A and B are shown apart, each in its own frame.
Chain A
Amino acid sequence: MNLGQSILEALESLAANKLRSGLTILGIVIGVAAVIAMLAVGTGAQDTILGSISGVGSNLLFVFSGNFTENVRNVQPLTVGDAQAIADPFQAPSVEAVAPILRSELEIAYGGEKTFTNVQGVTPEYAQVRNYAVTEGEFINSDHILGRSSVALVGPEVADKLFNRREGITGETIRIEGQPFRVIGVLESKGGSSFGSQDDVVLIPFSTAESRLIRRSRDRIDQLLVQAVSAEAVPQAAEEIAQILRTRHRTALGADDFTVFSQSDFVQTAQTITGVLTVFLGGIAAISLLVGGIGIMNIMLVSVTERTREIGLRKAIGARKRDILIQFLTESSLLSLFGGLVGIVFGWLIAFVVGQVASASGTPFTPKVGLDAILLATIFSTAVGLFFGLYPANRAASLQPVEALRYE
C-alpha cells in the first residue's frame, strides 16, 4: 500500500472516533502550544533586551571606576584627564570618540510645573557616542562648552511633563535648581529600556554642569562612555583604555581600579540569561509534550486491542507485518501532527495575548513565533507520535493471524 492510501485510511479511522481522537491530541495540543508560547515569549524578551542594549549606541565601551571582580583599595575616580588621555588618537588609535558624563537627579521647573529628572552634563561627542539625534533645535556644541552656556536639551518625556507637547519648545526657558536655562532642542525618543526610561533626561553642557550644578572634587566624572572605531576594534579599544588608565592610575603592577565593559559583554550576559530562561520554559513545555505522547501510546494500545480481529483479518488477506506497522504508525503520527498544528495556532494566540497584556501594562514587548519554533514543534510532535506509536503498532503487527481472528 502506498503512503497516500495509508494516510487516507488512517484519517477515516481517526474520524470514525472523533471524540476519542480529539481527547487524545489534547495532550499534544497543550504541549505544543506551551512550547510555541514559551519560545515566543523567550525570543521576544531577548529581542527587547538586546534592542534596548544596542539602542544605547554602537560599538560602545563603558568605563567604571572600581574593580567588579576583585577587591581593590584606594580606588581612584575617573577624571576629565582620563577622558582626555583616552581621546588622544596616538595613545588610543582604536577609539573613535569619548564622552565623559556628570549626572544627578535635579529639580526642573517651567511655569508652575516641577519635576525631578536625571540631568547629565555632556560634551558634543555624546551625540555621536549615544547615537542621539534631536527632533528640533540643535545639540550641545563646543561653543556651549567653552562659554559654559546655560542651555539645555530636553528628553521627550520631560517635554511632555513640563510643556505637554514635544514641538515648539526650543527657545523656552526652564529652571534647573532655580537657575534659568534656555532650551536649545528636544531629543528624539529612545523608548523605555530595561535600565529605565531613556527619555526622562535633560542634557546640559559638561562645563556648565561642572562649574554650576554638579560639582565634583578634583575633576571627577561619573561615567565614561567610549566608542570604538568599529565593531572589530572593540576588544583592541578596551585594551588601549586599560593601558592608559593603568599608567595614569599607577596600578600597572596591582589589580586594576577600574572596569571596562563593552556593549557585547552586556549582550552576551543578556543572551545567556534569556537563553537559560528560554531553555527552562521550553523544557517545562517539553514535559507536557511527553505526557501528551504517553496519552497517545495509551489510546493506541486500546485501539490495537479493540481492533485485534480487524488486524487478524487484514493479515489473513495478505497484509504483511510492515503494512500493519505502517497503518498504526500513520494513525499515531497523524494524531500528534494534528495536535501539533492545533497547538501551534493556540500557542500563537497565547503569545499574542501575552504581548497585548505586556504592552497594556507599559512594557512594550513583542513575542516572536519563529519559523524555527513552528518547524521544531511540528517535527517534534510528529516524532512523539511516531515514538509512542511504535510500541502499540509493533504489538499489532506481531499478532498471529489465527490468534487475532479468534480474539473476541
Chain B
Amino acid sequence: MNDLVIDARSLRKVYQMGEIQVNALAGVSITVRRGEMVSIMGPSGSGKSTLMNILGCLDRPTSGEYYLDGELASDLNDDQLASIRNRKVGFVFQSFNLLPRATALANVELPLRYAGMTSGRQERARQALVAVGLEDRIHHRPTELSGGQQQRVAIARALVNQPAILMADEPTGNLDSKSGKEIMELLLNLNQQGTTVIIVTHDPSVAAQTQRVIRLRDGQVEESA
C-alpha cells in the first residue's frame, strides 16, 4: 500500500445547481504508484479539473475514499487539508497563480513559510529555482518573466516542500508551443529524478510522453485499450 501515492476509490462529486444535479465525477477509482508519471485526458467538461482538485486536496469528494501517500484525505477538516496540501502536494496551475508583487524567490518561499520553517528558507527556495533552471532570475518579479519562466517558478514553488506528488492541471495550456515543450521536458526530467507526477492535458503528444494515460468521459474513467 505504501507504494501507492494516490489511491482513490469510487470518488463522486455532485454539484447542486438549483434543481439539477451535475455529476462532475461519477465514481472514479484510480491509483498512482510512487515514481510514476500519469496523464489525464478527456473532453472539456469530463471532470478532469474536478478530479485533480480532489486529488490535490483543494476540494472534497461528495463520496468515496481517497488515500494520499497513505493518509485518508477524504474526510479531513479545513486545517488538516491545508496541512496535507502543504506537505504532500505540489500543485501547478494553468494560470501560474504567482503573487505579482513578490520576487520569484519570495513566491517559492511561501509554502515553506506556511510550513512553519523559520531558517534556511531562502536557501531551500533558491535550490528549487536552480532545479527548474531559473538560477539567474531569482530576484525577478512575475511581470519581469516570460510565461514559461513564470510556470517554472510555479513548479519550483510546488517542489520546494518535497511533496509526495506533483500535480499539474494543463500546465502548458497558457504557453506557446516552445515554452510548453520546455515545461514538459522539465516535468519529464523531474520524474526521471524520482518525482511522482500527474498531469492533465489536452495534447496527445504530451500524453504520449507519460507512462500511462487515464481517460475521463462524463465523470467516469474510460477503460483504456
Interface residue ranges, A against B (CB under 8 Å): 1-2, 5, 12-13, 16, 309-310, 312-323, 400-402, 405
Can you sample 25 A-B contacts with CB below 8 Å? Answer: A310-B99, A312-B97, A313-B99, A314-B110, A314-B114, A316-B56, A316-B85, A317-B91, A317-B114, A318-B85, A318-B87, A318-B115, A319-B82, A320-B79, A320-B82, A320-B83, A321-B78, A321-B82, A400-B59, A401-B59, A402-B53, A402-B58, A402-B59, A405-B58, A405-B93
**Does B157 lie at the interface of the complex (its beta carbon under 8 Å from any beta carbon of A)?**
yes
Residues in B whose Cβ lies below 8 Å from that of A315: 58, 82, 85
In the assembled complex, B111 has its CB within 8 A of some CB on chain A:
yes
- Against A, the Cβ 8 Å flags (1 = close, 0 = not) of B117-134 are 010000000000000000
Contacts of B59 in A (CB 8 A): 400-402
Chain A CB within 8 A of B113 CB: yes
Q: How long is the Cα–Cα vector from A99 to B148 in the complex, in angstroms?
A: 97
Contact of B86 among A5, A310, A318, A321 (CB under 8 A): A318
Interface string of B55-83 (1 = CB under 8 A from A): 01011000000000000000000110011
Known: A317-B114, A319-B114, A323-B114. A405 touches B85 (CB 8 A): no
Q: Is B101 an interface residue (CB 8 A)?
A: yes
Number of A-B contacts (CB under 8 A): 61
Q: A309 contacts which chain B residues (CB < 8 A)?
A: 97
Q: Which one, B97, B99, B114, contacts A318 given CB within 8 A?
A: B114
Name the contact of B85 in the complex, choosing from A310, A317, A322 (C-beta under 8 A).
A317
Secondary structure of the A contact surface, majority rule? helix
Is B114 within 8 A of A1, CB to CB? yes
With a CB–CB cut-off of 8 A, which chain B residues contact A316? 56, 58, 85, 91, 97
Q: Which residues of B contact A12 (CB under 8 A)?
A: 101
Contact between chains at A320 and B114 (CB < 8 Å): yes
Chain B residues with CB under 8 Å of A13's CB are 101
How many angstroms between the C-alpha atoms of A194 and B161 in the bound complex?
A: 74
Question: What is the CA–CA distance of A315 and B80 in the complex, to the nearest angstrom?
Answer: 12
Q: Which of A2, A317, A321, A401 has the most CB of B within 10 A?
A: A317
**Chain A: minimal CB distance from B75 (Å):** 16
Asked if B58 and A318 make an inter-chain contact with CB atoms under 8 angstroms apart, the answer reads no
**Across the interface, which residues of A come within 8 angstroms of B113, CB to CB?**
1, 5
A2 CA / B79 CA spacing, docked (Å): 17
Contacts of B85 in A (CB 8 A): 315-318, 401
Closest beta carbon of chain B to A397's beta carbon, Å: 9
CA distance A402 to B54 in the complex (A): 10
Chain A neighbourhood of B97, CB < 8 A: 309, 312-313, 316, 405
Nearest 6 A-B pairs (CB), nearest first? A318-B86, A318-B114, A320-B82, A313-B97, A317-B111, A402-B59
Chain B residues contacting A5 (CB-CB under 8 Å) are 113
> B154-170 CB contact bits vs A (8 Å, 1 = yes)?
00010001000000000
A16 touches B79 (CB 8 A): no
Contact A317 B93 (CB under 8 A): no
Residues of B within 8 A of A319 (CB): 82, 114
Q: Which residues of chain A are within 8 angstroms of B87 by Cβ–Cβ distance? A: 318
Q: For residue B80, which residue of chain A has the nearest CB?
A: A320
Q: A16's contact among B93, B101, B114, by CB below 8 Å, is which?
A: B101
Q: How far is the CB of A31 from chain B (nearest CB, A)?
A: 30
Residues of B within 8 A of A401 (CB): 58-59, 85
Give Cα A16–Cα B141 distance, bound, in whole angstroms.
Answer: 14
Q: How far apart are the CA atoms of A405 and B99 in the complex, in Å?
A: 13
Nearest residue in B to A15 (C-beta to C-beta)?
B101
Measured CB to CB, the nearest residue on chain A to B101 is A16
State A143–B183 Cα separation when bound (angstroms): 113
> What is the bound-complex CA distance between A321 and B79, given in angstroms?
7
Contact A317 B58 (CB under 8 A): no
Contacts of B114 in A (CB 8 A): 1, 314, 317-320, 323
